Structure 1
C-alpha cells in the first residue's frame, strides 16, 4: 500500500527545474524565489550583528565565483564538477552559503564537513571526495592543516572564512592564507567577461552533483551522498508548498541558524528553504544557552530550528530562560532525532503559545520526507507526507503493510531522493531499489484526531546512534575498538542520556593478553582513551564499557545489537526500580 500526502497538501507549483544550478534557483526570481529587494538579509551573524542584503549576497556570489576561478584556474563550462570539489570545514558564517553558491556558479561541488570532526575524520572526507581546495576558519585551522596535508591538498589551496572579532578575540588570521573577503575583492576587480555564463542542457541539473554530504549509513566510515542540484531544488519546493498556509502574504520570518550548516537539516531546511522564502537566518557558531537566548531577544527570532537535546536544555533551565524576552517566538521545529512526547509536553507547559512541529528526513532524501503542519499537531509524530512524495511500509520479509499501527521499514519515493553513494555499489544496491529508497527506519502510520495520516518513527533498523543530532555508526567505533590490544570482540549500542539524547556504550570481550590480575577499571579507561584520541567528542564512549563473555551474533555473523539493547534496557529498568 502506498501512502500519499493528505488532501489538504498542495501540489508543487511547477516541476523542479533540471537545467540550472542551485545558485541560479536561489538568486534568480524567475524560479519563484521571494523578491530579492524585499527579502530580509539572508544571513546575520548572531554574535556581531553583521549581515548583507539579498542583493549584496547575489553580487558577492558572482564576485567570489570570479575570485575562485582566478585562484584555481576554473571555468564553469570547462572540465567536470569533480575537478572543482571544495571542502567546507567551519563553524556557521554569513558567507558559508555565499561560498557554496559561488562553487555551484562554477559548476563545482561542495562537500560540507562537520566542524566537530577530528583530523583523521576530515582527512577521510577530503580523500574520498577528492577535494581540490578547503575553506576553514581560524579556530579549526590546525585540524584543517593536518587533514589537508594528509589528503594531498596544497597549503596554498586552503582559505579562511572571515569571523568577527567577537569570536576570534585578539587572534588574527595568518596572512599566508587568503580569506573569502579577499577573494571577493579580487573578483570584484575583474571584468564581468572574466567568467563565462554557465550553459547546461536539459537534465544536467538532475544528474550533476551539487553536494557530497556524508552520512553514517549502516556500517563503516561515513559515506559520501551525491545530492544533485535538482534534488535540493525539489525539497525546497516541497517544503515551501507544504508550509504555504503557515504564512500570510508578505510575512517574513526570522529564524534561528544555530544547527551546523554542514548538517543536511540545516543546509536544506534552515538555510536554503528559508532564504528562498525571503526569510532571515540568524547564525550562531555553536550551542551556548545564554548566547542562544540573547540572540532570540536581540534579533526577535520567530522560529527556532532545534534538536531534542537543546529542547531539553530549555526545559531544564527555566530560571535562566525566564530572564530573557522570548515573546517573538511563534514556534519550534525539531528534527535529526525523535522528540519524546514527554519533553514536548514539558516545553508546551513552559511556552503554551509555541507551536511544536517535528519532521523526518535523511541526507539521502535531501532532507524532509514528512513534517508537521500548524493546524494538525499530533505530538510524537513526524508529521504528514510532503507533496510529490510517496511512502510504503515493508516487513523484513518484504510484505507490504496495508493498514495503520503496523510497523515496517519506511520506503520512500520522491524527486528529492539522491543520486546514490559515491563509489559504493553494495550500499547503493541495498538502499536504492527501483526508484525507492529503503530508509532503514521502522515506522507506523496513524491518523491524527483530525483524521489525517501521520508518520511515526518507532525504531531504527539501521541502528545509528544519534548524539545531539550527530550520527554515530556503531560499526565505525567497533572497527576502531578492534585495533586495541585488549579487545578481542566488541559491539556498540546507544544508551539514553538526558543531555545528549543518546550516547555510545561498548560491550567488549577481553583479549587473552589481559591477565586476570589487571584492574578492570584501568582496562576500561585505556579503551576509552583509545577512542578519545582518534574520534570526535560526540563519538566517545560516554555510556561506558562493559565486559561480557561473548558478543551475541546471528548464524551469518551479524551482531545482534537489538538483543544487547533489550538487555541494557531491562538492566536499567531494574536499577531504576531499586532506587
Structure 2
C-alpha cells in the first residue's frame, strides 16, 4: 500500500508540462504555468556584497544574449546534436549570474553541471571528465584550480569564462584579459541575431537531461545524476503547492548563501524563489556578519540554511541579538534534521520565524517532503509532496504497510531522476524498471496528533553499523551525544572487529566546556553517557577519538566516508600499539608455567569474556 501526501496538502492544479524546457517554464507563459508575474516580482538575484541586481525581465534578456554569444563561441546550433554534445560546467562561488549560465545552456538545448567551489583539482577533474564538459565558467579566486583541471580534461583556455564576483573576493587581483567574462559575452550577444526557439515534442521534457548533478549514489566515487527538464518543473510545482497553505502570496527576499552546486540551493532556492516572484540575496560564502547584515538590510523573509549555520547563530547568540531579524518569518533547514533542543533554542532566538524542514535526494531532483507549520510533528521530515508515491520495504523484500515500523523508502514521482550518466549498473541498483527509486534510507511513517502521515528518517542503510548482526543507527547515537555539554560536534562510524563485525566508534570535537578535561576523562564520560541510555550493542565499544574539526561537505553534512577511512587508520594504530606492548611485556626467559597459566585462564574464563559485558575502551587521539 503506497503512502501519499495528506489531504490538506494542495495538489498541483495541472500536470507538470513535459513539452517545454526549464528556461521557458521559468520565463515564458506566466498564466499557463502559474508563475508570479515577472513585472511584479522582486529582482531574482541581488549581490549581498555590492548590491548589484537584475530584474526578472533583465535576467531573461541576459539568458538570451549569453546563449547567442556561446553559440557563436562554441559553434553550437540549437537544433543540432544531442544535449550531451553541449555540456557547460560551472565551478564558482555563488554569483548573481550562476543560474543564468545554466538557463543559457538550456536555451542552447544543452546541459549544465555545477561543481562545488570547495573541490580540489582532482575532484574537479573527476566531475569534468564524468560529464564530458565542453566549456567551463569559473571565477577569479578559483581560476588556478579551474585551469589545472581544465587542462587535464582538455578543455581549451578559450572555452573558460569568468563570472563576476565581489572585489573583496578577488583581493584586488585584476581580471586576466585572456578570459572573457559573462558580462562581455552578454554584450557581444546583444549584437547577434536571435536564436531559433527550442522546440520540444510531447514527452521530450521528461526524457531530456537539463542538469547533471553530482551524487554519491550507493557507493564509490561521485556519479552524475541526470535530472530532466520535467524533473525540475515538477519539483518546483510540488514545493510551491505544498507551501501554498501557509506561504505569503506577496513576494519577499530570501537568503542565497547555500552553494548552487548543491541541488537544494539550485532547485529550491533559485528556481522555486524565481517562480514565486521572490528575490534571493546572494552571498558568495557563509560569513555570519554578512548574513546578519543582509537579513536586516533587505528585510529577508526567509532564510535557507543547513544545521551548521543554525549552530553558528546559536553559538553567537549575543551578536545575533544586535541585529533586527524580525522580518524573518520562515527558516528552511535542509541537509539534516535539527534536534528538538536546537530547534527550540533557535525559535527562542528568532521568535518571529517558523522552522520548516524537509527530506530529499539529488536523485529526486531534491525534495519529496516538507514540514507544514499547521501540522508539526517534532523530529519528522514532514509530509510527502503532492504527486509522490512512497512505499517501505524490509530487509527480506517484504512491503511494510504498518505505521511505526521501519523499512527502506522507495518513491515514485515525476521528480525522480532519469538515471546516472553513463553508469547503467548504478542506475539499475537504485532505479527499478517500474519507476520506483530505492533511496537507501531507513524510515518510518508515523501519524501526527492530527492523523496525518509524517516521515521519520532513521538512518542511511549503507551507514548503519552492524554489531553482531544487529543494526545500530549512528544518527541516533549522534543526536544523543550532541546533547552532552562536552560535545561540540560528533560523528559515529564503524570500526572493524573480528568478533562483532563492527563496533561504534565516535570522533568527537570537544566543546569549550570540555577543554579543561583530559581526552581520557572526556572519552570515559561520553562512553558512560551512552551506556546509561542505550542497549549493549549500541554502546561506544569502538571507543572515542578526538579531532579538532570534522570534514564537511558544501551543504554542511559530515563527510562520513572520510571518517570511515580514518577509523581504519585508528584500527591500524591500535594494533601497532598492542603489538609493541606485547613485545615489551613478553618474558623471553621463562615459559615453564605457560601451560598451567593457560589452563587456569580458561577455567577462570579470562580471555573469554562476553564482549557484551566488556568495558568499552576510551581512546584519545594522539
Q: TM-score, normalised by structure 2?
A: 0.77
Map 1:224-235 onto structure 2 (within 5 A): 224-235=224-235
Map 1:258-407 onto structure 2 (within 5 A): 258-407=257-406
Counterparts in 2 of 1:239 and 1:536: CA distance versus 1, 3 Å: closer
Match of 2:3 in 1: 3
How far is the alpha carbon of 1:167 from its aligned partner?
A: 2.9
Counterparts in 2 of 1:501 and 1:240: CA distance versus 1, 3 Å: farther
How many pairs align? 506
- 2 CA distance for matches of 1:62 and 1:12? 29
- 2 CA distance for matches of 1:571 and 1:337? 29
Q: Is the 8 A contact 1:443 1:457 kept in 2?
A: yes
1:33 equivalenced with 2:57 (yes/no): no
Counterparts in 2 of 1:132 and 1:27: CA distance versus 1, 3 Å: same
Match of 2:525 in 1: none
SS at match of 2:416: coil
Please list the CA deviations of residues 347-402 of structure 1 after superposition, one character each: whole Å capped at 9, or x if unmatched: 12222332111000000001111111121122211100110111111111111112
- 2 CA distance for matches of 1:300 and 1:428? 44
Counterparts in 2 of 1:506 and 1:2: CA distance versus 1, 3 Å: closer
Match of 2:223 in 1: 223
How far is the alpha carbon of 1:191 from its aligned partner?
A: 2.5
- 1 CA distance for matches of 2:619 and 2:152? 47
Counterparts in 2 of 1:508 and 1:159: CA distance versus 1, 3 Å: farther
- 2 CA distance for matches of 1:64 and 1:501? 44
Map 1:69-218 onto structure 2 (within 5 A): 69-192=71-194, 195-218=195-218
- 2 CA distance for matches of 1:536 and 1:53? 28
Match of 1:561 in 2: none
- 2 CA distance for matches of 1:74 and 1:269? 30
How far is the alpha carbon of 1:305 from its aligned partner?
A: 0.8
Q: Is the 8 A contact 1:217 1:462 kept in 2?
A: no
- 2 CA distance for matches of 1:371 and 1:571? 40
Match of 2:239 in 1: 239
Counterparts in 2 of 1:125 and 1:501: CA distance versus 1, 3 Å: farther
- 2 CA distance for matches of 1:204 and 1:57? 25
Match of 2:570 in 1: 546
How far is the alpha carbon of 1:102 from its aligned partner?
A: 0.6
SS at match of 2:277: coil
- 1 CA distance for matches of 2:322 and 2:409? 43
- 1 CA distance for matches of 2:427 and 2:54? 41
- 2 CA distance for matches of 1:430 and 1:165? 46
CA RMSD of aligned residues (A): 2.8
Q: Is the 8 A contact 1:405 1:444 kept in 2?
A: yes
SS at match of 2:245: helix
How far is the alpha carbon of 1:507 from its aligned partner?
A: 5.1
Match of 1:520 in 2: none
- 2 CA distance for matches of 1:178 and 1:503? 44
- 2 CA distance for matches of 1:460 and 1:169? 42
SS at match of 2:197: coil
Q: Is the 8 A contact 1:84 1:132 kept in 2?
A: yes
Counterparts in 2 of 1:188 and 1:301: CA distance versus 1, 3 Å: same
Residue segments in structure 2 that go unaligned for 5+ positions in a row = 466-473, 498-546, 576-610
Select between 238-247 and 79-88 the one with higher mean Cα deviation.
Answer: 238-247
Counterparts in 2 of 1:118 and 1:571: CA distance versus 1, 3 Å: farther
Q: Is the 8 A contact 2:326 2:352 kept in 1?
A: no
- 2 CA distance for matches of 1:184 and 1:402? 55
- 1 CA distance for matches of 2:39 and 2:403? 47
Q: Is the 8 A contact 1:133 1:158 kept in 2?
A: yes
Match of 2:454 in 1: 454
Q: Is the 8 A contact 2:326 2:350 kept in 1?
A: no
SS at match of 1:149: helix
Q: Is the 8 A contact 1:389 1:414 kept in 2?
A: yes
Counterparts in 2 of 1:183 and 1:438: CA distance versus 1, 3 Å: same
Q: Is the 8 A contact 1:344 1:379 kept in 2?
A: no
Q: TM-score, normalised by structure 1?
A: 0.83
- 2 CA distance for matches of 1:341 and 1:182? 50
- 2 CA distance for matches of 1:37 and 1:464? 50
Largest Rg, 1 or 2: 2
Q: Is the 8 A contact 1:254 1:279 kept in 2?
A: yes
Match of 1:475 in 2: none
- 1 CA distance for matches of 2:106 and 2:491? 37
SS at match of 1:352: coil
Please list the CA deviations of residues 290-312 of structure 1 after superposition, one character each: whole Å capped at 9, or x if unmatched: 11111111111111111111111
How far is the alpha carbon of 1:260 from its aligned partner?
A: 0.3
Q: Is the 8 A contact 2:259 2:555 kept in 1?
A: no
Counterparts in 2 of 1:439 and 1:131: CA distance versus 1, 3 Å: same
- 1 CA distance for matches of 2:264 and 2:79? 30
How far is the alpha carbon of 1:132 from its aligned partner?
A: 0.2
Counterparts in 2 of 1:503 and 1:155: CA distance versus 1, 3 Å: farther
- 2 CA distance for matches of 1:12 and 1:505? 41
Q: Is the 8 A contact 2:45 2:280 kept in 1?
A: yes
Counterparts in 2 of 1:203 and 1:62: CA distance versus 1, 3 Å: same
How far is the alpha carbon of 1:95 from its aligned partner?
A: 0.3
How far is the alpha carbon of 1:504 from its aligned partner?
A: 8.3
SS at match of 1:245: coil
Counterparts in 2 of 1:323 and 1:547: CA distance versus 1, 3 Å: same
Q: Is the 8 A contact 1:357 1:377 kept in 2?
A: no
- 1 CA distance for matches of 2:76 and 2:362? 28
